[in-house]
Copies of this chain bind each other. A is one copy, B any other.
């Protein structure tokens, strides 16, 4: 799996890492139960500090996406329960921000739906995604 980090970006490295890992899971490149590279190994590979990777891993574990034990971190089984209300609320707020920005910059609905389709197509490359339009 390829992980691309932009150290010059204003978004924290650990946040970028979290999204890259989530992306890998959604794309099926990281399968359920599969163990992740060790904190130190991944840190060495992508050239960042061990603690930065550690923070990303632990935040994903708190979100329930990874699980950890003394052997390391591994992909957690997806919960079939309906997602937490808090998570839903956060997603709605992010969605509202996008829609406000899109609206103010006069981006047409067709463009947005096209983008959505493109992104889902990329995510669904190897595996069925849970969000189908």
Contacts and interface: CB of A to CB of B under 8 A. Distances in A.
Contacts of A126: none
Contact of A131 (B84, B99, B120): B99
> How many copies make up the complex?
4
Contacts of A10: 68-70
Interface in A1-52: 7-10, 12-13, 19, 22-23, 25-26
Contacts of A97: 19, 94
Contacts of A106: 78-80, 83, 130
Given A10-B68, A70-B13, A102 B107 contact: no
A131 B107 contact: yes
A99 B116 contact: yes
A99 B123 contact: yes
Given A9-B69, A70-B13, A129-B103, A95 B119 contact: yes
